[in-house]
Structure 1
Amino acid sequence: MTDDLLTRVDNGVGIATLNRPKALNSLNQPMVDALGEVLAGWASDDEIRAVVLDGAGERGLCAGGDVVAIRESALRDGVAAAKFWFDEYRLNAAIGGYPKPYVSLMDGIVMGGGVGVGAHGNVRVVTDTTKMAMPEVGIGFIPDVGGTYLLSRAPGGLGLHAGLTGSVFTGADAIALGFADHYVPHQRLTDFTAEIVAADVHTALSRYAVTPPASALAAAREWIDECYAAGSVTEIIAALRGHDAPGAQQAADVIETRSPIALSVTLEAVRRAAGLGSLAEVLVQEYRVSCASLRSHDLVEGIRAQLVDKDRNPKWSPATLAEVTPDAVSAYFAPADPDLTF
């Protein structure tokens, strides 16, 4: 076990707390191993009636995986990164099929790997402080942890908008996207958890969940659905540029800063995920894509620019969408060696 994951049982409720607050509770290998072991034990323990996942500190549940460690692994041989994803995606699948109430408190910052441990639960709670995103394209990566499963099943073009911009969305937006179910005010989360312990999940939701405010993303469906129906990333940008909605221009501005190969693979991955039947099938596809990313220029370069040197000036290769070939995109979907199994 690890100090990076704190666990306790209170009146039949298992509470797991991601405990790396200085790193925004970003996931590392020991945390994934420990959470997987704890959840498996609680699933088979008749004394445990529900599980709650939260994050230590005031800033959020989890900012994602430890991508600096991923970069370091990619610069060596990629073995540690591939193992991390293998185990992390198996954990995501276990959460997606958890046999007891699994209450994820997706408060504050919830990005990447945080979505993976939160948004596949069967009781998904967001708040007025939730800042959620699948921001992978900004570091030359592709949405993973079951993110393309969720993005592909979002209404209309909302999922592609979230995936191709990588932009932050609110708790209300998360519900509109299908990433969450319930809205509990941040200041009531402690009372909400206490009510789960004292009574049960249903009672806690009935007492503390409220109607979410209007979703800005849902309100923008008209131009989002129209623009993201285009066939390629280049055509999507052109459609955004041709629309008079201010949000469309802003989306195009953001997308044009992202990795061209990551954008192209993300579009293909989300569209392929829509045709796959289960979270597990999508995770196998994501594992293949992630392992291919380890061999790419842009993953190492994107993490360098954003999180190592922090110059915010990645030099993408290929540098433009026009230079991305269909064969280069297809190569990301080749089977991994070994493939992810469950």
Structure 2
Amino acid sequence: MAATPRNHRRTIAITSLIHSTRTGPLGLIELHRPEAINALTLPMLKELTEVFTAWAHDPTVSMVVLRGAGERGFCAGGDIKGFHEAVTGPNPDSFLELLSLEFDLNEMISSYPKPVLTLVHGLCMGGGIGLSAHASIRITTPEARFAMPETRIGYSPDVGGTHLMGRAPGHLGEYLVLTASTFSGADAVELGFADMMVESDRFEEAIDSLADFEAMPAAEIASGLEVLFGSFAASGLAAARPWIDAAFSAPDLAGILERLDAMGHGAAAEAAAAIRANSPTSLECALAAVRAARAEDHLRSALDRELRVAGYLMHRPDLAEGIRAQVIDKDRNPAWNPARLDEVDTAAVAAVVAEAP
């Protein structure tokens, strides 16, 4: 079947922040807030939910493609300044309401009745990972930069991030959430956050080829796209796994830091320094949540757990302070409370993580 020319695309809905169009049986959604690297707002999440819901039941749509506008990236995550206003304002529960909607959208994408293809370029963090990494066909560029840096702002990975990190090879998940490190497109494939790499200048060509894959299962579409457009780059995280697994398999944070300190090489020292710069309370939450998700390996359970952890952290001082230091004032000098790992109420954290939904 020949691809429908791009100039035949018919727009079905355009707002200032979400563009959704149709090309024959293909539904195309573009996050359109490039000046903020497509950071997600509540109206954007609502419209995304509406479009995905409508197309799930539309027999004329056979596949959905999700991408981000602008050269800087797919999606920088949630609107962090909006989160700060929510948790410091008169109605902090609005923060949880937004998260609940977002998590339901993540689950919808993961179980969508039609193939969902996501195209990630540039920056993809937090909520961007929630939109992209639960899809059935996940494409990234080699030079893309992914991150779940929540422990740096007094929060904990969400949008199913703990589920993804729990499924990552070895103990790479613990390493990434505790250090809040970025990782490449090649690393994303190694971790299971993406299925393949395609150069960004071939995205349009790949989209135009999708008509040839109509009615095929997602796995066959992914295989065909990789043969036609796949790129290759080596994963730095894969090469670093021996020392990462040796350190981050320790039973607790104190043990992880002790092992890193004893290793005596630059990468381990950098990891230890990164961990010590992040919120102690968030570190305990993130470590416990990733390991709980690994034990269960179920997205919905992870999302429910992440929502409980969010409810716990929004009433702690570190979330507002972390956003202030990293995003608002940008002094990069948060005053964590408590400031030391041995002062964190680990029993309270364990109770929140283990609590039945």
What band does the TM-score fall into relative to the shorter chain? over 0.9
| Match of residue 159, structure 1, among 156, 173, 176 | 173
CA contact (8 A) 2:167 2:297 kept: no
Q: Distance in 2 between matches of 1:334 and 1:213?
A: 39
**% identity of equivalent residues:** 41
Runs of 4+ in 1 over 6 A off after TM superposition: none
| Match of residue 195, structure 1, among 187, 190, 209 | 209
CA contact (8 A) 2:288 2:353 kept: no
Q: Distance in 2 between matches of 1:31 and 1:129?
A: 26
What does residue range 129-148 of structure 1 map to in structure 2 within 5 Å? 129-148=143-162
Deviation at 1:261, TM superposition (A): 0.5
CA contact (8 A) 2:166 2:297 kept: no
**1:282 correspondence with 2:295:** no
Q: Show the counterpart of 1:251.
A: 271
| Match of residue 227, structure 2, among 206, 221, 239 | 206
The answer to which of 72-81 and 297-306 deviates more is 72-81
| Match of residue 317, structure 2, among 297, 313, 318 | 297
Deviation at 1:334, TM superposition (A): 7.3
Q: Distance in 1 between matches of 2:118 and 2:344?
A: 38
The answer to which of 321-330 and 138-147 deviates more is 321-330
Q: Show the counterpart of 1:237.
A: 257
CA contact (8 A) 2:120 2:132 kept: yes
**1:127 correspondence with 2:141:** yes
CA contact (8 A) 1:223 1:245 kept: no
Shift in alpha-carbon separation, 1:41–1:205, aligned structure 2, 3 A: farther
Q: Distance in 1 between matches of 2:143 and 2:209?
A: 21
Q: Distance in 1 between matches of 2:242 and 2:213?
A: 43
Letter in 2 for 1:134: M
| Match of residue 73, structure 1, among 70, 86, 94 | 86
For 1:48, what is the secondary structure of its paired residue?
A: coil
Q: Distance in 2 between matches of 1:227 and 1:145?
A: 26
Q: Show the counterpart of 1:270.
A: 290
Deviation at 1:233, TM superposition (A): 1.1
For 1:183, what is the secondary structure of its paired residue?
A: strand
Post-superposition CA distance 1:3-48 (Å, at most 9, x none): 2111001021101001111111011111111111111111111111
Q: Show the counterpart of 1:4.
A: 17
Q: Distance in 2 between matches of 1:26 and 1:230?
A: 35
Deviation at 1:198, TM superposition (A): 5.8
CA contact (8 A) 1:10 1:197 kept: no
Q: Distance in 1 between matches of 2:230 and 2:180?
A: 28
CA contact (8 A) 1:288 1:334 kept: no
| Match of residue 335, structure 2, among 292, 307, 315 | 315
Q: Which runs of 5+ in 2 are unaligned?
A: 1-12, 215-220
For 1:169, what is the secondary structure of its paired residue?
A: strand
CA contact (8 A) 1:192 1:205 kept: no
TM-score between both structures, scaled by the size of structure 1:
0.94
RMSD: 1.6
| Match of residue 178, structure 1, among 174, 192, 198 | 192
Count of residues paired in the alignment: 336
Letter in 1 for 2:64: V
Q: Distance in 1 between matches of 2:225 and 2:233?
A: 20
Q: Which runs of 5+ in 1 are unaligned?
A: none
Q: Show the counterpart of 1:52.
A: 65
Q: Show the counterpart of 2:106.
A: 92
| Match of residue 31, structure 2, among 4, 18, 30 | 18
CA contact (8 A) 1:193 1:204 kept: no
| Match of residue 215, structure 1, among 235, 252, 269 | 235
Letter in 2 for 1:207: L
Shift in alpha-carbon separation, 1:27–1:247, aligned structure 2, 3 A: same
Q: Distance in 2 between matches of 1:301 and 1:196?
A: 46
CA contact (8 A) 1:26 1:66 kept: yes
